[in-house]
Structure 1
Amino acid sequence: MKVKVSTHLTKIGKIILIIFLIILFIRLFIFSFAQIIGESMAPTIQNEQWIITNHLAYSLNEPERGDIVTIDYNGERYIKRIIGLPNETIEITDQQLYIDGIPYEQVFITDRNSFWTHDIPKTEIPNHSYYVLGDNRRISKDSRNALGFIAKSNIIGRAEFIIYPFSDWQVIY
């Protein structure tokens, strides 16, 4: 009888260990969770909301304009929206974004006051780099000021979901 109980406990221990290792693998290599601190992505993502970042999003595809990405910059994590892609020239004049001289409508803008920014002169984005802005441009630390161009290697993944508070649960656009 004692042998069967200890064998049963050993099996349960192995199952718990395997589940723990699977969760650890998923957490480290596929998805991560982060709490947003600050209002730089408001109104899209609010202060103190929790998000899920997909680390595999760009393993087969390139980041696209409008994607909200998690960035590792000098050991700090930032959440920003990609505005400019590698080798493009961007410019903002009188709140109008121009990409390679062509006006671009920022369809993700939902609150015109948050998206106000000073003019940005013609800026050529280097190869393998991106130009990012916070959705709340009045207060965002982004490519205009502190972050500069973001290398693809500094993009951790694409922000996919707001998961907390539960009443705010939604896919991030």
Structure 2
Amino acid sequence: MVQTNKKVIDNIKTIIIAILAYFIVSNTVSISKVYGNSMIPTIKNNSYLFINKAVYKFKKPKIGDVVIVKYKNSYLVKRIIALENDSIEINNGVVYVNEKPLLEVYSVGRPENMKRTVVPKNHLFLIGDNRENGESFDSRNPKLGPVNKDLVVGKVVFSIYPFYKIMYPLNLSY
């Protein structure tokens, strides 16, 4: 009888630990599959990404971070190009943040010019690394525009398959 009670208690402990572990893991990390070419060459179609969902609870997003954001009934993977109160414009294929060129080694294509705009409070300006016309639905499109920080699901840490680290801008002095 005592042995049976001990087994029941051990089973309950195991179940509680499993539930806690599931809760912690599901709220701090995830894996996401990429559909599309908007982040080429950094992230390729059908890549599997490791996402840190807890990072922005402890630190602020920064320019260069690649993030997953909720959009309607789907998710987008994009790069943070400007933060709240930053000005952004695109002129002759160069992205300017606060009137300084963003030195990008990860992007392809020549983006269309965009007039200077200021990112609203609690928002981020997100662009895909594939800047060819029509390849990336991002903050340059008025249908999306700057994205509220609350819609950020997490930061992309690396690609699991194929394995590689995520590239960042050369100058992070913004």
Task: Report the alpha carbon displacement of residue 110 of structure 1 after superposing the two structures with TM.
Answer: 3.4
8 Å CA contact retained: 2:89, 2:95: yes
Distance 2:9 2:165 in 1: 39
What does residue 139 of structure 2 align with? 143
Relative distance call for 1:103 and 1:22 in structure 2 (3 A) is same
What does residue 149 of structure 2 align with? 152
What does residue 67 of structure 1 align with? 65
Task: Report the alpha carbon displacement of residue 43 of structure 1 after superposing the two structures with TM.
Answer: 1.2
Secondary structure of 1:58's match?
helix
Q: Which runs of 5+ in 2 are unaligned?
A: 168-174
Q: Which amino acid aligns with 1:42?
A: I
- 2:156 is the alignment partner of 1:162: no
Relative distance call for 1:65 and 1:20 in structure 2 (3 A) is same
Task: Report the alpha carbon displacement of residue 22 of structure 1 after superposing the two structures with TM.
Answer: 3.6
Secondary structure of 2:18's match?
helix
Q: Which amino acid aligns with 1:17?
A: I
Q: TM-score of the superposition, structure 1-length normalised? A: 0.83
What does residue 42 of structure 1 align with? 40
Task: Report the alpha carbon displacement of residue 88 of structure 1 after superposing the two structures with TM.
Answer: 1.1
Task: Report the alpha carbon displacement of residue 93 of structure 1 after superposing the two structures with TM.
Answer: 0.5
Distance 1:29 1:121 in 2: 38
Q: Structure 1 stretch 40-49 or stretch 24-33: which is displaced more?
A: 24-33
Task: Report the alpha carbon displacement of residue 161 of structure 1 after superposing the two structures with TM.
Answer: 1.9
Q: Which runs of 5+ in 1 are unaligned?
A: none
* Matches for 1:92-107 after TM superposition, within 5 Å: 92-106=90-104
Relative distance call for 1:103 and 1:170 in structure 2 (3 A) is closer
What does residue 117 of structure 1 align with? 111
Distance 1:136 1:94 in 2: 16
- 2:132 is the alignment partner of 1:134: no
Deviations 1:18-38 (A, max 9, x none): 453144213431011111111
Distance 1:45 1:14 in 2: 43
Q: Which amino acid aligns with 1:153?
A: D
TM-align CA RMSD: 2.1
Instruction: Work out which of the residue numbers 156, 160, 172 in structure 1 matches 2:166.
Output: 172
8 Å CA contact retained: 2:158, 2:164: yes
Q: TM-score of the superposition, structure 2-length normalised? A: 0.83
Identity, in percent, stands at 30
Q: Which amino acid aligns with 1:78?
A: L
